[in-house]
Structure 1
Amino acid sequence: MTTGTPASAIATPLGPFEKWLSVWVGLSILSGVVLGNVIPGVFRSIAGVEYASVNLVVAVLIWAMIYPMMVAVDFGSLRQVGAKPKGLILTVAVNWLIKPFTMAALGVLFFEFLFAPFIAPADAQQYIAGLILLGAAPCTAMVFVWSQMTKGDPAYTLVQVSVNDIIMVFAFAPIVALLLGVTDIVIPWETLLLSVGLYVVVPLLAGAITRMVVLRSANGDAGAIDRFTARLKPASVLGLLLTVVLLFGFQAGTIVSQPLLIALIAAPIIVQSYGIFALAYGAAWLWRVPHRIAAPCALIGTSNFFELAVAVAISLFGLGSGAALATVVGVLVEVPVMLSLVAIANRTRGRFTADL
């Protein structure tokens, strides 16, 4: 799922939102499905509030969610990379050289071969497109939650996220365009680049400027960033939950009428999640990367920046498209899968070395 809290904040005990994350997200999913079926007209009206193929309501909510996280990103932490390069090398390799392509391959395997008897070819291409968008958007925000839950190194996690954000600005659009082209889906570059700019570049710049202003007004006191983002956190949480409600409300009819379809879309996402985790976690163990870096490294590769994937899917294919549905199913699958992987990482901590 997005960028996160500052290093000092990651080390604090889990708050009620993080501790009961699966409960809040589950309730939001249920609320979206129920409301989407009870008052579908309201959701159709919200779906119609768009400009240049971008839904403005969803855009506002995503901004509310992303902005505080972008403020917390300290690009000065990139100076720490040289001393401990292994975790970062694994993160970059898995996220950008492996994950997008394995997700595309799994999408083709499942929807053009294994599930071909059950899904129309045109629909299959839409679902593949949604999976590609998920696979090409590595998680930034929720990584800090998973890192905290596995007692990860907060400063190093921040470095990994910062590097991922920089790479995403330049690599997301070309990789998606390449993979969508391979699957014979026509993609308008203008819309894709607009989405990357709207959901990554602009909030990243806004966050960097805000961070500079806050630090300057506090005479360089890093704790001021913690306090500033803490004040914004309720809006960020509300943005996340309302986004989930809206996304599931938009797709409520399909979810209720076609539960088998949801299960079919979830299958390759689940296979991808556990497979990428096993690859990254196993490589970190073989390379003798300490657990406090190895666990977040594997979890970054496993989870997705679903806000960006959903936003681009909506922009490119529409709110009611199969591509948008696939990215929404990614939201449904991610939290329980990630919580299970956190449990695996915690149970296997003793198998890792303490030194790089």
Structure 2
Amino acid sequence: MSDIATTAEHPAVVGRLSTLDRFLPVWIGVAMVAGLLLGRLIPGLGDVLSAVEIDGISLPIALGLLIMMYPVLAKVRYDRLDTVTGDRKLLVGSLLLNWVLGPALMFALAWIFLPDLPEYRTGLIIVGLARCIAMVIIWNDLACGDREAAAVLVAINSVFQVIMFAALGWFYLSVLPGWLGLEQTTIDASPWQIGRSVLIFLGIPLLAGYLTRRYGEKARGRAWYEERFLPRIGPWALYGLLFTIVILFALQGEQIAARPLDVVQIAIPLLAYFAIMWGGGYLLGASMGLGYERTTTLAFTAAGNNFELAIAVAIATYGASSGQALAGVVGPLIEVPVLVALVYVSLALRKRFAPVHTATV
């Protein structure tokens, strides 16, 4: 992770990555397999891991998410956020992709591919409503996107998530199906439940990152902070990501292994969703002349989803063994390798962009 940050201004990015970063897809694949095997081979492991929860999420997963997000948020130049908030094209494009296109696209794909599987269909729609506030920061950083832009867009998504999630859930699961003569369902997610999740999984690492930079630079200077401190904590974002993946798949390994054909059925619309959202975000950013960094940020913030919130809502509303919960679990099973692959696609496309100077790091 640290080498990705330090080579952000050079064209041959992939060739200069550390061994840890260069083989990221391998480590993620190993983490997924390890998690699935642990869940299958150690009886009662899921019960132990779920014994303590934070906002409906297993404590180990919660800790992994916090560890994963802190180093990237500590890298953000908070004194340059105003260069992002003044970019109306970026902000409007992100809002349209995340809160208009994203939920509508997932609704359409869920009904097209899963018309006779209401539990999985509902679970996918919930995933589509939960816009990404966590892992997108990792994907954006790996692809050398604009960190400040990612921080602002994630913050906007967080606010909209608190305000809009329950309302959009009611619309896409009850109102719109009724208008179209389709089967209706309900969702039980209060603004407080969603807001609490946002405060925990985004608020804590965001505050920690901001305070670390502010007081670190004040005490030791910016040169020490960026040249000595950040390289030390940078790899912990990847460690946290891998740890989170292992625990997540250990918790759900039994369900995934027991219903492989169901996983395939759920995976097909998810693959289409991630490809369309990322590609749409990339094309929109390029057509608006945002430059590589912000186009990349726009694409990844559009494609990623907050699977932690989706799983928590599905479990709280329908139960841990429900089809809705399984659909939520399959989300990261597909999202993680697909978006890692798209990181490499994005880096390969970088040379096609003319330099656009926005917020440098």
Calculate the TM-score normalised by the size of structure 1.
0.81
CA contact (8 A) 2:65 2:134 kept: no
Please, which runs of 5 or more residues in structure 2 have no aligned partner?
Answer: 174-185
Aligned to 1:29: 32
Question: Are the structure 2 counterparts of residues 26 and 197 from structure 1 closer, same or farther at C-alpha, using a change threshold of 3 Å?
Answer: same
Match of 2:65? Answer: 62
- Residue of structure 1 equivalent to 2:158: 169
Residue of structure 1 in register with 2:125 after alignment: 128
Q: 1:5 to 1:102 in 2, by over 3 A?
A: farther
Q: What's 1:115 paired with?
A: 114
Partner of 2:258: 257
**Aligned counterpart, 1:271:** 272
How far off its partner does 1:307 sit?
A: 5.2
User: Partners in 1 of 2:227 and 2:307 — Cα distance?
Assistant: 25
Instruction: Supply the distance in 2 between the matched residues of 1:123 and 1:277 (Cα, whole angstroms).
Output: 23
Residue of structure 1 in register with 2:143 after alignment: 146
The verdict on how the C-alpha distance between 1:262 and 1:215 changes in structure 2, with shifts beyond 3 A counting, is same
Shift of 1:129: 2.0
Q: Is the 8 A contact 2:278 2:300 kept in 1?
A: yes
Aligned to 1:99: 102
Change (3 A) 1:137 1:175: farther
- Check conservation: 1:34, 1:252, Cα contact below 8 A: yes
Equivalent residues, number: 339
Please name the residue that 1:199 is paired with: 201
Q: How does 1:216-295 map to 2 (within 5 A)?
A: 216-218=218-220, 220-295=221-296
Counterpart-to-counterpart distance in 2, 1:18 and 1:312 = 33
Cα distance in structure 1, aligned partners of 2:19 and 2:308: 22
Matched with 1:214 is 216
Unaligned runs of 5+ in 1: none
1:303 counterpart = 2:292:
no
Matched residue type, 2:167: L
Whole-angstrom CA distance in 2 between matches of 1:234 and 1:315: 34
**How far did residue 212 of structure 1 move?**
1.2
Within 5 A, what are the aligned runs for 1:181-192? 181-182=170-171, 183=173, 184-192=186-194
Identity of aligned residues (%): 29
**In 2, Cα distance between equivalents of 1:234 and 1:355:** 28
SS of equivalent residue, structure 2 residue 81: helix
Give the Å deviation of 1:249.
Answer: 1.2
Q: Alignment partner of 2:188: what SS?
A: coil
Distance 1:8 1:79 in 2: 23
Retained in 1: the 8 A contact 2:68–2:237?
Answer: yes
TM-score (norm. length: structure 2): 0.80
1:263-313 per-position Cα deviation (integer Å, ceiling 9, x unaligned):
122222211112122322223343344345434432332234545555665
The code of the aligned residue for 1:248 comes to F
Paired with 2:85 and 2:48, the residues of 1 have a C-alpha distance of 51
Q: Partner of 2:333 in structure 1?
A: 332
C-alpha displacement at 1:25, in angstroms? Answer: 0.8
Q: What is the CA distance between 1:71 and its match in structure 2?
A: 1.6
Shift in Å, 1:180: 1.8
> Is the CA contact (8 Å cut-off) linking 1:195 and 1:312 kept in structure 2?
no
Q: 1:82 to 1:351 in 2, by over 3 A?
A: same
The C-alpha deviation readout for 1:89-139, integer Å capped at 9, x for no partner, is: 4334323443234234433x24xxx4233x3x3454234323432568782
- Assess if the C-alpha contact under 8 Å between 1:310 and 1:327 holds in 2: yes
3-state SS, counterpart of residue 141 of structure 1: helix
Query: 2:129, 2:165 within 8 Å by CA — same for their partners in 1?
Result: yes
Distance 2:228 2:337 in 1: 30
1:127·1:325 contact (CA, 8 Å) conserved in 2?
no
Name the CA distance, whole Å, in 2 between partners of 1:177 and 1:22.
Answer: 34
* SS of equivalent to 1:48: coil
Between 1:69-78 and 1:137-146, the stretch displaced more is: 137-146
Q: Deviations over 1:211-248 (max 9, x none)?
A: 21111111x32441453233234443332212111111
- The alpha carbon displacement at 1:85 in A equals 5.3
